[in-house]
Chain A
Amino acid sequence: MEFTPRGEELFAASCREVQAGSLCSPHMSATIIRNGRVIDPANKRDEIADVFIVEGRIADQSAIGNRQSAIDEVDATGLIVAPGLVDMHVHLREPGFSHKETIESGARAAAAGGFTTVVCMPNTSPVPDNPSTIAWIKDRAAAIACVNVLPTGAISKNLAGEELAPIGSLAQAGVVAITDDGHCVQNHEVMRRAVEYARMVGVPLLDHCQDYNLVGNGVVHEGYWSTLLGLPGWPAAGEEAIVMRNVLLAELCDHHIHCQHVSTVGSVRLIREARARGIKISGEICPHHIALTDDAIQNFDTNYKVNPPLRSQNDVEGILEGIADGTLSILCSDHAPHADFEKEVEFDRAPFGIVGLETELGLFINLLVHQHRKIDIARLIAMYTLEPARLLRIDAGTLSVGARADVTLIDPELDWTVKVDQFQSASRNSPFDGWELKGRAVRTMVGGKTVWKL
């Protein structure tokens, strides 16, 4: 009897393997995705072709040729067949804040947005600054999440920026990166040691770049609208000072620092110049930082309150250039759910954040491919697959034979309207309700199994 719990654990573990492998189904399964435009940046592939899936893995045609059992067919004519998209910056709020989101509801939102893998941030309660919280998140995800959930660990104990978290133990527990996201290590010496230590154990750092002294109690971009509205300003230099710090430490320690949600033209310049010198630094972009500018805050609507804040038109243009020339290499949402009652308060008291998983792909296709024509759809897919997979060294983001069959079918021309009341996410804090977009995911497959379909 004493062994029962252990037995259950083994059972749970075997379930996880099955789920990660081949859609929890005991019998052999096969699927053919026919006639789509297959875009697989990892293999430099962009052609009309069929994609074969056998037992939850990408296969070649020969593997399916002599099969006897039933084969599912998915018609992808007119659609893009992409490797399952990766959003490496989401807040799933569990453990601790399940009134905003759960791993289960966040995973459903991810699937509905076309994402097969999400990387969740550590500002939960408890903070995953220890292996057991990481294990809890992984177990919870394996049990109830319909997409792959990869946890990050904290850089510092309790995200306080003072003492290093046990980064080696976190790496062993399976974190894909360390970050104090939502917070920022202010002490450059602490950060330097974290970078050095993380290099030893082979995990990259993701940094929310915010100098607390420069930013103070700022809630909106410091500029025309903060001046006019009398809201405390959050200056661009408050981000750029830390981006610069990260450039210096990435060079000093020869290890990768990834700057999260880059929002200013100055940050783009710093990252561009550093990358040209071969420094291991990168930057990611959220859709709201190019879809909106700070004039959106003039009615004090807290759905536009986000950190870093919506910036000026000049910043938007700088970011678009940074995307076009490859300086900014990764797209993400910074999916930050909050309950209505938390956002329905005075502007300066409301929490920062926008839910993004179910709108980001449509916004990026719309803005980057259709409207501004900064990149083509193949590059956009690379920024959601190859690039994050390479940075985090994760088994995702490709349609190579043998890879887990995580696949996203995208209709880049589909017209649709954002309706927050139909979100899978448990929260509704989006400024994009009612936006008319062109382009979205229409089917999401994880391990060969369709987890969401329009």
Chain B
Amino acid sequence: MTTQLAHWTRKDLLSLRELSADEIKFVLETTDAFKQVGTREIKKVPALRGKTLVNFFVEPSTRTRTSFELAAFRLSADVINISATTSSLTKGETLKDTARNLEALQADIIVLRHSSAGAPQFLASRLKASMINAGDGAHEHPTQGLLDLYTIRERKGKIGGLHVVIIGDILFSRVARSNIFGLLKLGARVTLVGPSTLVPREFEKLGVEVSHKIDNVLPNADVVNLLRIQHERQRREYFPGLGEYIRLFGLTKQRAKLLKSDCLIMHPGPINRGVEIDSEVADGLQSVILEQVTNGLAVRMAVLYLCGGIAP
């Protein structure tokens, strides 16, 4: 799996849908080098020295924000964190005006997390700074998609030909969409599993399979990626309750026995132990959940390095 791409040309990373297979491979190969940095005594390189990165998180996040922050530190960038509550958005300033002010302060890279789909694309077309999408509504979470691809590739040696099963709340999941686009571009077979209200058949038009019978799908999966059930933000009518969800779709200890012994178990976090996944399964030998977190740091270093190095 080597890329034919000679060099990176994008200043923004907005989605995996817009990337070519070669561009995705290019990021993954660049990630190899940065992952190696993390094993050194001094885990820091000067790639973005003198650059200013703003972590602009309009929607709360711990893991992604920390990962981007650490990635930027390791690239020697200067980092500022802004959250919704500390920004002037609470005073009625528009997103565009806030971002233009950040740019006026000579921010080179803006990492945006936002509850509205398309918010990073909206700003990218209006700003000179590099725009990195750290998750926009239910649209995409491209660095999560990339770190999932990286983790699969690292463990399996390939992505093409693998059967990846994504389980849970697909409709509201930006992680699912980035995974779907990235996996399909790299030649994987993708099956989505979950209640029909959260995994509508419309997804089949994207080129994936849809199933509502988890027990039929698990035995032939090479990777299962479990999404968090976002029960706190869902309208009640999507499913009758967590108990029923667990009964129909939870990766229980019992169900995990259906998996092939080398099937990887992934989860973007945060985990609801005992809901989408049993605690023991999450901590079991097949689980690569913490490796995903480690790889996320390297992937984000690669993305910041690639996009941050492009002249506007």
Contacts and interface: CB of A to CB of B under 8 A. Distances in A.
A34 B202 CA distance: 58
B95 interface: yes
Contact of B206 (A228, A299, A300): A228
Contact of B116 (A216, A228, A341, A348): A348
B126 to A, nearest CB: 8
A341 B200 contact: no
Contact of A300 (B118, B138, B174, B235): B118
Contacts of B202: 223-224, 227
B94 interface: yes
B117 interface: yes
A341 B94 contact: yes
Nearest to B125: A299
A349 interface: yes
B276 interface: no
A230 interface: yes
A230 B116 contact: no
Contact of A230 (B94, B96, B138): B138
A291 interface: no
A300 B122 contact: yes
B121 A300 contact: yes
The number of chain B residues touching the other chain, given as a range, is 20 to 34
Interface string A327-358: 00000000000000100111111000000000
B117 A230 contact: yes
A34 to B, nearest CB: 51
Nearest to B206: A228
A230 B205 contact: no
Given A231-B117, A341-B94, A347-B122, A224 B205 contact: yes
Given A300-B118, A346-B114, A227 B203 contact: yes
Contacts of B171: 227
A230 B174 contact: yes
Interface string A221-234: 00110011111100
Interface string A292-328: 0000000110000000000000000000000000000
A314 to B, nearest CB: 13
A425 to B, nearest CB: 22
A153 B307 CA distance: 55
Interface string B135-159: 0111110000000000000000000
Nearest to B139: A230
A36 to B, nearest CB: 46
B65 interface: no
B140 to A, nearest CB: 7
Nearest to A228: B206
A146 B17 CA distance: 50
A323 B119 CA distance: 37
B235 A216 contact: yes
A231 B118 contact: yes
Contacts of B122: 300, 345-347
Nearest to B17: A228
Interface string B104-128: 0000000000101111011000000
Interface of B: 17, 94-96, 114, 116-119, 121-122, 136-140, 171-172, 174, 177, 200, 202-203, 205-206, 235
Given A229-B139, A346-B116, A348-B117, 7 more contacts: A224-B202, A227-B202, A228-B17, A230-B140, A230-B177, A231-B117, A344-B96
27 contacts: A216-B235, A223-B202, A224-B202, A227-B171, A227-B202, A227-B206, A228-B177, A228-B206, A229-B117, A229-B118, A230-B117, A230-B138, A230-B172, A231-B118, A231-B138, A300-B121, A341-B94, A344-B94, A345-B94, A345-B95, A346-B114, A346-B116, A346-B122, A347-B117, A347-B122, A348-B116, A349-B116
Interface of A: 216, 223-224, 227-232, 299-300, 341, 344-349
